[in-house]
Amino acid sequence: MPPGEVNTVKACPQSSPYVGEPMRVYGSEKKKQHAVEATRIEPLTTPLGEVSGTAVIDAQPSQNPADAPATGLLVRADGYRMMIDAKTLVAWVAPLHALSEVQAGDWIEYKGRKSSDGVLVATSVKLSPDSVRTGEKKLRAKNDFDPSAVSPSARQSRASMAFIGIDPKRFPPYNDPAMQARVTSVGEKLIPAYQRDLPDSDPARIEFRFQLIDSKLFRDALTLPSGVILVPHQVVERMQNDSQLAAVLADNIACALEKQQYRMQPASRAATAALIGGAFVPYAGLAIQAGAMAGAYDLAVKARQQSGRVALGLMHNAGYDIDEAPLAWWLLAPKRPKPLPGIQLPERAAYLYRILGETWNNPAAVHPIVNSGP
């Protein structure tokens, strides 16, 4: 329905719902079509609660930094527009000691509550500069390579992955210059301004590289801490437009920006240790194993949700349609391509619809909040 028109259809909302708006739908379910023939639709109030996390500030504050002490500071981090005001309890990590010094690339550990306009009002934050520690440097170096130089005959079997894990150096490049150029073009537009502006000598700079690979094992790209992003050609082929492709690439860029592999190492080690322990202490070991694996799974879900939220901001800044993001993961859900009506809505897409409704329900008001460059 065009904006401004009044809906006169009985039992329907009087204004057009926005993407991600929670609704209660009454009607009959059509299971084969994964659809509902609605007889009544009612809008629901978006539940607002406390949110916490740790993330990189990926966009510059919108205010004049000198005004921050008086007006508060509005930044974007963890996929949220986040307000730090006079009521926020702030802890500093040297050399930071004032809101006027905070910039994109710094890190924030926060707690806060989401308001109805999508802004998260922080109750407490810890602000620290980015630091690349020795362990992170080693992890980047270990995973750094030229993916375009991998032998065309390189392969890794599923059995090998199960036994030793994924070896990205065994996925050959896919030879399609036009598709490769498209992936590189879309990917480079999504890199946030603060990263592009870092000098080559800065250890915090991530050298993003996007490489098509010939592997039918994945329905997502593969992100390495070094900035190498491996993109299976069939993922690109399923995308209906550049905004959907941008959703996949932005999600993987976000994984590297948020240092997810490095930050999840302790959980991965705990899960591995539990598996080893379980072999020697059957009963206690199994309990430890189950707990460690459940903890690692929960962290993986939280990491996937974080990268999805952050990706929406990267897409928005690059001029892509963020409403296409859930559709990208919806199309990638089945093992084989299917028309969208025949695919059940996956959790990953459902979560993004929720975030679109809670955080991006007024995109026109979001744009001027941050200034992260073209």
Amino acid sitting at position 79: G
Q: Are residues 354 and 244 in the same domain?
A: yes
> Which pLDDT score is estimated for 49?
79
- pLDDT for 14 equals 58
Residues 185 and 224 placed together within one structural domain of the fold: yes
**CATH number, domain containing residue 70:** 2.40.50
pLDDT tens digits for range 144-174: 999 999 999 898 887 787 777 788 999 999 9
Give the SS3 label for residue 141: helix
Note down the domain range covering 123: 50-128
* 9 or 232, higher pLDDT: 232
Please check whether residue 231 lies inside any domain of the structure.
Answer: yes
Residue 300 vs residue 22, higher pLDDT:
300
Is 323 inside a domain boundary? yes
Query: Given 94, 128, 162, which residue is the final one in a domain?
Result: 128
Residue 221: pLDDT over 60: yes
Residue pair 170/145 in contact (Cβ under 8 Å)? The answer is: no
Report strand pairing: 107-114 vs 209-213.
unpaired
pLDDT band at 305 (very low <50, low <70, confident <90, very high): very high
Is 324 in the same domain as 209?
Answer: yes
Note whether residue 206 is domain-resident. Answer: yes
Residue 124 and residue 139 in one domain: no
> Does the pLDDT of residue 9 top 70, yes or no?
no
Confidence category of residue 284, pLDDT binned at 50, 70, 90: very low
Instruction: Give the pLDDT confidence of 43-92 residue by residue, as tens digits.
Output: 666 666 799 999 999 997 655 555 555 678 999 999 999 999 999 999 99
198, 84: one domain: no
Q: How far is 258 from 216, CA to CA, in rounded Å?
A: 27
- Quick one: 92 and 164 in the same domain? no
Q: Are residues 178 and 310 in the same domain?
A: yes
Would you state the pLDDT for residue 361? 79
Q: How far apart are CA 110 and CA 104, in angstroms?
A: 16
Domain boundary among 102, 128, 154: 128
* Domain match, 100 and 198 both: no
3-class DSSP state of 212? strand
**Of 112, 128, 144, which residue is a domain's last?**
128
Q: Tell me, yes or no, whether 20 lies in a domain.
A: yes
Residue 333: DSSP 8-state:
S
Q: Does 110 reside within a domain?
A: yes
Classify residue 97 as exposed, middle or buried by CB count within 10 Å of its CB (0-12, 13-18, 19+).
exposed
Beta bridge partners of 213: 173, 232
Instruction: Tell me if 251 sits within 8 A of 170, measured CB to CB.
Output: no
User: In this predicted structure, what is the pLDDT of residue 275?
Assistant: 40
Percent of the residues in the chain that have a pLDDT greater than 90, as a whole number: 58
**What's the whole-number average pLDDT of the chain?**
83
Give the pTM.
0.84
**181 C-beta neighbours (distance < 10 Å), count:** 11
Q: Which pLDDT belongs to residue 184?
A: 98
pLDDT in tens, 172-204: 999 999 999 999 999 999 999 999 999 999 999
| Confidence band of 293 (pLDDT split at 50, 70, 90) | low
- Length of the chain, in residues: 374
Q: Quick check: is 374 in a domain?
A: no
Query: Exposure pattern of 58-80 as b/e (b: 16+ CB <10 Å)?
Result: bbbbbbeeeebeeebbbbbbbbb
Q: Do 190 and 297 lie in a common domain?
A: yes
Q: How many structural domains does the chain have?
A: 3
Q: Which residue has the higher pLDDT, 340 or 369?
A: 340
Q: How far is 92 from 100, CA to CA, in rounded Å?
A: 13
36 and 7 within one domain: yes
* Residue 141 φ/ψ, nearest 5 degrees: -65, -40
Question: Do 238 and 297 belong to one domain?
Answer: yes
Q: Are residues 102 and 180 in the same domain?
A: no
